[in-house]
Amino acid sequence: MAYRSVIPTPPEAEAKPAPQFDSLRQQYEADTLGMWIFLASEILFFGGLFMTYTIYRAAYPEAFEAASGRLDFLLGGLNTAILLTSSLTMTLADDAVMPRNRKALIGWLSVTALLGAVFLAIKGVEYVHEFREQLAPLFGRPFEFPQPHTEQARLFFSFYFALTGLHALHLFIGIVVVLVMLVLAIRGAPGLEAKVIIAGLYWHLVDLIWVFVFPLLYLAARHG
């Protein structure tokens, strides 16, 4: 990410750095570094899950393809479009905060949070369908899948719920963060530029994770 000046301009001139920092710029650089370290740790975490999934995918290709075919490709594709659009609206919010275009900032943050909520709602619809079809090997629930791929399909859906569930949790946290930014924007809080930019970094990470989750899970049966 290219360096962007976040030295406050009126009416943010009254913003003060935290006591441990000499200036707002130093605070911003420290906060940004901390966020990048956090994002790197998240990438390593999900990267390990992706690698483990890939190993089992290579070991049981036919079973994983059959299990992937039971996922709702249309809803998954719709959610992908929604999340990519939310990444655009978050970028527009990021652009709006620098010149202090308060109206645009509030609007784009609202749309971003709404798109995130729509994604979770659609994901919830998918989960309900999979629970009804007894494809959720969770909490001791019965799991039904045609032989001879029953156990391997159980493994696939275990990965599916782990990856999509963790992603949904991260997205929920992202929505909360965006809503906090929205409240601060409505109140005209000082020092908002750095906060929105850092929040945007987290939001884009959540989108990036889904860019890998979708093809790994939903396109496993459509590789040809």
Q: What digits encode the pLDDT tens for the residues 66-76?
A: 999 999 999 99
pTM for this one?
A: 0.86
- The pLDDT of residue 179: 97
Cis status, amide bond into 11, omega within 30 of 0: yes
3-state percent breakdown (helix, strand, coil) of the chain, nearest 5: 75, 0, 25
**CA nearest neighbour of 184 among 38, 15, 36:** 15
Question: Of 86, 79, 175, which Cα lies nearest the Cα of 126?
Answer: 79
In the chain, the percentage of residues whose pLDDT exceeds 90 is: 68
Q: What is the mean pLDDT of residues 157-162?
A: 96
Q: Are 105 and 97 in contact (CB under 8 A)?
A: yes
pLDDT of residue 30: 74
For residue range 129-149, what is the model confidence (pLDDT) as tens digits?
Answer: 999 999 999 888 889 998 898
Closest to 169 in 3D by CA, of 133, 137, 209: 209
CA–CA gap between residue 57 and residue 64 (Å, rounded): 6
**What does the alpha-carbon distance between residue 39 and residue 34 come to, in Å, rounded to a whole number?**
9
Residue 10, both tokens: 């009126």
Token duo for residue 152: 């391997």
CB half-sphere exposure, 157, CA atoms < 13 A: 25
* CATH class of the domain whose range is 21-222: mainly alpha
Q: What pLDDT, on a 0 to 100 scale, did the predictor assign at position 134?
A: 93
Q: Which residues contact 60 (CB under 8 A, 6 or more apart)?
A: 149, 152, 155, 156
Buried b (16+ CB within 10 A) or exposed e, 82-94: bbebbbebbebbb
